[in-house]
Amino acid sequence: MSQPLNVSVDAMGGDAGPGIVVAALARSAQRHPNVRFLLHGDEAVLKPLFARRAKLLERVEIRHAAERVRMEEKPSQALRRGRNTSMWHAIESVKNGEAQVMISAGNTGALMAMSMFHLGTIEGIDRPAIAALWPTKRGQSVVLDVGANVECDAQQLVDFAVMGEAFARAILGLERPTVGILNVGAEDMKGHDAVKGAAQILRRVNLPIEFCGFVEGDDISEGAVDVIVTDGFTGNIALKTAEGTAKLVVHFLRSALRRSLFGRIGALFASGALNILRRKLDPRASNGGIFLGLNGVVVKSHGGTDALGFASALDMAIDMAKAEVIPKIVADHAAATPALAPAGAAVS
């Protein structure tokens, strides 16, 4: 039997409201018999949702929070006035050790600001990044940052490489994940100062990282490397562009099949295969951005997700806690720090 695990949940985040969160807990509770949930939110709203879920309620503790962070709120504002919100309380549960991991489908900026305020960053890490799992021809890759930092310097990108590599080892079970920096070309001279500087550091210093240099946009889906490092502006746009493109291709496929009788017959015969494709491309299956660089595990579910999507983000949060990713990142980053010191003494 594995260790008991407490998951702290912000019930009030996301567009769909707490109904999908409770439905997701029901799924997750079945899959993870040893997990308990601290559910933060408006008691008057949450309690009725358990009216027919007495068994689930045995594993859920409802913690009342009178307020919620609104989706359009500025991070600084949420931080100032947010002490009574479900998000604030949910993060506090990780800070004070009651829970090992926190999850929310709420306002990303506010979640990052509150997480940094409560949990702090790992020693030597300037700013956390949001990591995403990306389906590829060879399985899955880790892409970070997908939205926390719109501008990044070379040192931050190097931090992302160290964190992403530790994450890939822990979550993808790879012994020696390969790491690449996203750029507009593979040649050394390509790109702006931040990516060139980060590549120089990663090539020169003696880190235990399998650094493969620059990769381009189409290398992500190829699975050319296991960890793709980029700034949060580029990463966010790449991720959403990929989601949009996958939808577009399915749209083209559907309208092509509908255009002829043979197409419609073919679609009937191939309905099993088309369902496999649908599941494979379901954005809910890889829902969840992981905040890396904090002294604690925080997972952000997509704001527009449903119960299935929230449940898969919950799965990832539980995997994260079980794999003890944070201690691994702390150890790796501490080991890398002498090599990364500005003096650059530890060049290989």
Single out the segment in contact with its own copies by CB under 8 A; choices: 43-51, 95-103, 134-142, 293-301.
Answer: 134-142
Q: Which of 45, 57, 212, 267 binds its own copies (CB under 8 A)?
A: 267
Check binding of 335 to its own copies (CB under 8 A): no
Q: Can you name the residues that pair with 6 across neighbouring β-strands?
A: 36
Q: What is the closest distance, in whole angstroms, from the C-beta atom of residue 255 to its own copies in the complex? A: 9
Check binding of 97 to its own copies (CB under 8 A): no
Q: What is the closest distance, in whole angstroms, from the C-beta atom of residue 234 to its own copies in the complex? A: 6
Q: Quick one: how far is CA 169 from the chain centroid?
A: 15
324: left (phi over 0), alpha (psi -120 to 50) or beta: left
- Give backbone dihedrals phi and psi of 140, rounded to 5 degrees, phi first: -140, 145
Question: Which amino acid does the sequence have at 137?
Answer: K
SS3 call for 36:
strand
Tokens representing 318 are 């539980």
Q: Which of 182, 198, 317, 323 binds its own copies (CB under 8 A)?
A: 182
Tokens representing 313 are 């983000």
- Using CB under 8 A as the binding criterion, the count of chain residues that bind its own copies stands at 65
Closest CB to its own copies among 66 and 184? 184
Which secondary structure element, helix H or strand E, spans residue 139, and what is its range? strand 139-144
Q: What is the closest distance, in whole angstroms, from the C-beta atom of residue 213 to its own copies in the complex? A: 15
Say which residue the tokens 């997509």 belong to.
302
Check binding of 234 to its own copies (CB under 8 A): yes
Q: 3-state DSSP helix/strand/coil percent for the chain, to nearest 5?
A: 50, 20, 30
Site for its own copies in 14-53 (CB under 8 A): none
Single out the segment in contact with its own copies by CB under 8 A; choices: 85-93, 215-223, 313-321, 329-337.
Answer: 215-223
Check binding of 175 to its own copies (CB under 8 A): no
The answer to whether 257 touches 277, Cβ cutoff 8 Å, is no
Residues found near its own copies in the complex (CB under 8 A): 72, 74, 135-137, 147, 150-151, 182-184, 187, 189-192, 216-222, 230, 232-234, 236-253, 256-257, 259-260, 262-263, 265-274, 276-277, 280-281
